[in-house]
């Protein structure tokens, strides 16, 4: 690892002022991505500003039945919080199916939103990579891309967004709260994760020195019955090949304000809007589930190595829908 | 898409003092003892424990947060010491496998690992034990499936997993 210097922040304003004043300074939270990438020479800050002492660990109920999760709440604490277990089981499931117990103890929720892709070409600090070195090219396009994205891809980047918990947060229309040199801002999650397009190095709309301070989850009573379904190469401690977060409110067999989002298959946490449009107002049943899943993946652009993800994503969408609506036939 | 809510207090905040990149004084509390060290900020907790404090229980397996051999506790929570910078542990309490025994008596989990033959080469064992004790504290050992899932961050290349689970069960059932 290259030499770095260190500052520990005691308040939010001091942390922001320090990072904002120096383009070569970065925030340090749980460090589970950042220390690793420092060691790989992928991230090259001169100084780290340790924000772990900042009072941003709250997990609070909101009057609308929603949640406010402080950016420094750890994944493990959010997963265990009674209010999350009861009201947002899909958030809990996504958290406990991610990483390992040690990493979940360390990793912060804000850091989870800011984590970097696990694309091996991004991480090797040597291959051409438009995300790491704009304009250098994408090694994954014709490389080993079995784990890469099929949705939201461009000719410049096909890196998969790695987060599990961002997937249910996308389904629930969560918002990211930041504080920065120019004040507080609130971003819809969809805007916080732009598609790569021809600027894959721009992963978030935040400016240098802008700090994620919290995540707001709007209330959704139907989310008490919800799920996060994750398919991967190993049973545990592995990133998703495909995952789906689903909330399916039903009245008299008819689907209401359905929420569906996909992980492991896209360059960002992927809201399945095409499928939602087909399913909203439709009577629950396998046929419409299959049609919705088929339509959602129509824009997919796969490679010979990751083409299986298209069918996999469709099948887990159908399975999640059948499970939540009680229409799943025993297999 | 975004809205500025209120003006920033950042403008008045002073820029924080900087330590490093050369060696700086770092005080670490490990197994209840305070140590004053001279460390560069880039030094991991794992390297500080092994190379400076000669506590070689925590092992350097992958050094990238994958294998769990470096598992220690920071403020009683199981943590990967390879992905933790030592300087960030100032003011926190670090516990390593060397701190488990009390008055020369092995911890129940250490005894159970011996009794259940829960290791072969032993390289991952300190991390397994630190994880296993924390697992019981967390209440994630109700059955074998749960033990397997919540111990998945500790890789055992010798695949002693069934015996590790037996050790966890043995201590769980003593309580």
Taking only the tens of pLDDT, chain B with its 175 residues reads: 444 455 566 767 899 999 999 999 999 999 999 999 999 999 999 999 999 999 999 999 999 999 999 999 999 999 999 999 999 999 999 999 999 999 999 999 999 999 999 999 999 999 999 999 999 999 999 999 999 999 999 999 999 999 999 999 999 999 7
Which of A26-40, A61-75, A115-129, A316-330 shows the lowest mean pLDDT across its residues? Answer: A316-330
Q: What is the 3-state secondary structure (H, E, C) of B42-79?
A: CCEHHHHHHHHCCCCCCCCCCCCCCCCCCEEEECCEEE
Q: What is the 3-state secondary structure (H, E, C) of A229-253?
A: EEECCCCCCCCCCEEEEEECCEECC
B80 and B32 housed in the same domain: yes
8-state DSSP, A135:
T
In the prediction, which pLDDT does B8 show?
Answer: 60
Smallest Cβ distance to B4: which of A21, A48, A182? A182
In the prediction, which pLDDT does B38 show?
Answer: 98
Contacts of B26 in chain A (CB under 8 A): none
To 10 degrees, the CA torsion angle through A88, A92, A98, A100?
170
Smallest Cβ distance to A5: which of B41, B140, B151? B41
pLDDT tier at A8, thresholds 50, 70, 90: very high
In the prediction, which pLDDT does B9 show?
Answer: 66
Q: Which of B69, B99, B129 is the last residue of a domain?
A: B99
B28 and B95 housed in the same domain: yes
Measured between CA atoms, how close is A250 to chain B, in angstroms? 30
Measured between CA atoms, how close is B97 to chain A, in angstroms? 15
pLDDT mean over A163-190: 98
Measure the CA–CA gap between B61 and B64, rounded to whole angstroms: 8
Measure the CA–CA gap between A115 and A151, rounded to whole angstroms: 19
B94 and B144 housed in the same domain: no
Q: Is residue A2 part of a domain?
A: no
B142 and B159 housed in the same domain: yes
Smallest Cβ distance to B18: which of A7, A31, A99? A7
- Which CATH number goes with the domain that contains A318? 3.30.390.50
B123 and B152 housed in the same domain: yes
Smallest Cβ distance to A100: which of B6, B13, B152? B152
Q: Is residue A235 part of a domain?
A: yes
Q: Which two tokens stand for residue B146?
A: 């749960």
- Which CATH number goes with the domain that contains B156? 1.10.150.120
Mutate to test the interface with B, among A41, A105, A232 (most CBs of B within 10 A): A105
Q: Is residue B5 part of a domain?
A: no
Asked if B27 and B38 count as a contact pair (C-beta separation under 8 A), the reply is no
Query: How far out from the chain centre does Cα A284 lie?
Result: 28
CA-nearest residue to A123 within chain B is B64
- Which CATH number goes with the domain that contains B68? 3.10.20.30
B65 and B113 housed in the same domain: no
Contact assignment for B65 to A32 by CB distance below 8 Å = yes
pLDDT mean over A179-201: 98
pLDDT mean over A254-273: 98
Mutate to test the interface with A, among B1, B2, B3, B44 (most CBs of A within 10 A): B2
Contact assignment for A4 to B8 by CB distance below 8 Å = no
Q: Is residue A320 part of a domain?
A: yes
CA-nearest residue to A25 within chain B is B18
For residue A193, pLDDT beyond 50: yes
Contact assignment for B79 to A106 by CB distance below 8 Å = yes
Q: Is residue B35 part of a domain?
A: yes
User: B119-153 b/e with 16+ CB inside 10 Å = b?
Assistant: beeebbbbbbbbbbbbbbeeebbeeeeebbbbbbb
Measure the CA–CA gap between A169 and A270, rounded to whole angstroms: 10
B88 and B134 housed in the same domain: no
Structural domain total, chain A:
1
Contacts of B7 in chain A (CB under 8 A): 183
Q: Is residue A165 part of a domain?
A: no
B82 and B127 housed in the same domain: no
Contacts of A210 in chain B (CB under 8 A): none
Contacts of A188 in chain B (CB under 8 A): 1
8-state DSSP, B123:
T
pLDDT tens digits for range A42-51: 999 999 999 9
Give the A:B interface size as CB pairs under 8 Å.
159
Contact assignment for B4 to A6 by CB distance below 8 Å = no
In the prediction, which pLDDT does B3 show?
Answer: 47
Query: Where does A146-285 show beta strands of DSSP type E?
Result: 175-180, 183-188, 211-217, 226-231, 242-247, 250-251, 254-255, 259-263, 270-271
Contact assignment for B153 to A99 by CB distance below 8 Å = yes
Smallest Cβ distance to B40: which of A3, A76, A237? A3
pLDDT over 70, % of chain A: 99
Contacts of B77 in chain A (CB under 8 A): 76, 105
> What region, left, alpha or beta, does residue A90 occupy, with left being phi > 0 and alpha being psi -120 to 50 degrees?
alpha
Contacts of B41 in chain A (CB under 8 A): 3-6, 48
B140 and B79 housed in the same domain: no
In the prediction, which pLDDT does B12 show?
Answer: 77
Q: Is residue A180 part of a domain?
A: no
Contact assignment for A184 to B44 by CB distance below 8 Å = no
Measured between CA atoms, how close is B90 to chain A, in angstroms? 10
Contact assignment for B19 to A188 by CB distance below 8 Å = no
B93 and B28 housed in the same domain: yes
B133 and B86 housed in the same domain: no
Q: Which two tokens stand for residue A287?
A: 């046929």
Contact assignment for A6 to B148 by CB distance below 8 Å = no
Domain that holds residue B95: 21-99
Q: Is residue A260 part of a domain?
A: yes
B122 and B147 housed in the same domain: yes
Q: Which of B80, B99, B118 is the last residue of a domain?
A: B99
To 10 degrees, the CA torsion angle through B22, B24, B30, B35?
130
In the prediction, which pLDDT does A330 show?
Answer: 62
Q: Is residue B3 part of a domain?
A: no
CA-nearest residue to A190 within chain B is B1
Contacts of A13 in chain B (CB under 8 A): 8-10, 12-13
Among candidate residues B145, B138, B136, the one with its CA nearest the CA of residue B173: B136
Q: Is residue A265 part of a domain?
A: yes
In the prediction, which pLDDT does B4 show?
Answer: 46
Asked if B96 and B69 count as a contact pair (C-beta separation under 8 A), the reply is no
Structural domain total, chain B:
2
Contact assignment for A36 to B17 by CB distance below 8 Å = no
Asked if A196 and A125 count as a contact pair (C-beta separation under 8 A), the reply is no
Measure the CA–CA gap between B121 and B81, rounded to whole angstroms: 21
Measure the CA–CA gap between B21 and A30, rounded to whole angstroms: 20
pLDDT tens digits for range A48-106: 999 999 999 999 999 999 999 999 999 999 999 999 999 999 999 999 999 999 999 99
């Amino acid at each position: 690892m290259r030499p770095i210097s260190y500052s520990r922040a005691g308040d939010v304003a001091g942390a922001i002022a320090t990072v904002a004043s120096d383009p070569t300074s970065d925030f340090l939270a749980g460090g589970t991505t950042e220390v690793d990438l420092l060691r790989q020479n992928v991230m090259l800050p001169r100084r780290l500003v340790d924000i772990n002492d900042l009072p941003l660990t709250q997990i609070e109920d909101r009057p609308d039945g929603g949640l406010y999760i402080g950016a420094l709440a750890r994944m493990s604490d959010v997963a265990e919080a009674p209010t999350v277990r009861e009201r947002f089981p899909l958030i809990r499931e996504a958290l406990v199916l991610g990483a390992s117990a040690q990493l979940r103890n360390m990793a912060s929720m804000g850091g989870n939103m800011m984590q970097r892709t696990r694309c091996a070409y991004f991480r090797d600090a040597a291959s051409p990579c438009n995300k790491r070195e704009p304009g250098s090219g994408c090694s994954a396009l014709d490389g080993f891309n079995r784990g890469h994205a099929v949705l939201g891809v461009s000719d410049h980047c096909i890196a998969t967004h790695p987060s599990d918990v961002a997937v249910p947060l996308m389904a629930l229309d969560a918002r990211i709260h930041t504080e920065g040199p120019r004040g507080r801002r609130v971003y819809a999650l969809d805007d916080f994760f732009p598609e790569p397009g021809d600027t894959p190095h721009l992963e978030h709309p935040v400016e240098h020195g802008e700090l994620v301070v919290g995540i707001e989850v709007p209330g959704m009573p139907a989310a008490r019955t919800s799920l996060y379904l994750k398919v991967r190469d190993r049973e545990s401690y592995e990133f998703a090949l495909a995952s789906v977060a689903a909330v399916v409110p039903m009245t008299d067999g008819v689907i209401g304000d359905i929420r569906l989002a996909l992980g492991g298959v896209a360059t960002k946490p992927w809201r399945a809007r095409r499928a939602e449009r087909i399913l909203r107002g439709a009577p629950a049943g396998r046929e419409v589930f299959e049609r919705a899943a088929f339509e959602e993946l129509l824009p997919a652009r796969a490679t010979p190595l990751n083409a299986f993800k298209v069918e996999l994503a469709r099948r887990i969408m159908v399975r999640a829908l059948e499970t939540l609506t009680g229409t799943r036939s025993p297999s | 898409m975004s809205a500025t809510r209120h003006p920033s207090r950042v403008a008045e905040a002073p820029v924080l003092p900087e330590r490093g990149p050369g060696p700086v004084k770092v005080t670490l509390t490990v197994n209840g003892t305070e140590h004053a060290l001279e460390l560069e900020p880039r030094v991991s907790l794992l390297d500080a424990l092994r190379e400076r404090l000669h506590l070689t229980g925590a092992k350097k397996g992958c050094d990238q947060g994958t294998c769990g051999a470096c598992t220690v506790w920071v403020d009683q929570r199981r943590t990967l010491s390879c992905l933790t910078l030592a300087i960030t542990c100032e003011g926190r309490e670090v516990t390593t496998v060397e701190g488990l025994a009390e008055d020369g008596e092995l911890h129940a989990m250490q005894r159970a690992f011996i009794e259940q033959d829960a290791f072969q080469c032993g390289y991952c064992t300190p991390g397994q034990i630190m994880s296993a004790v924390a697992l019981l504290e967390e209440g994630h050992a109700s059955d074998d499936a749960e033990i397997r899932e919540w111990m998945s961050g500790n890789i055992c290349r010798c695949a002693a997993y069934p015996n590790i689970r037996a050790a966890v069960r043995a201590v769980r059932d003593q309580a």
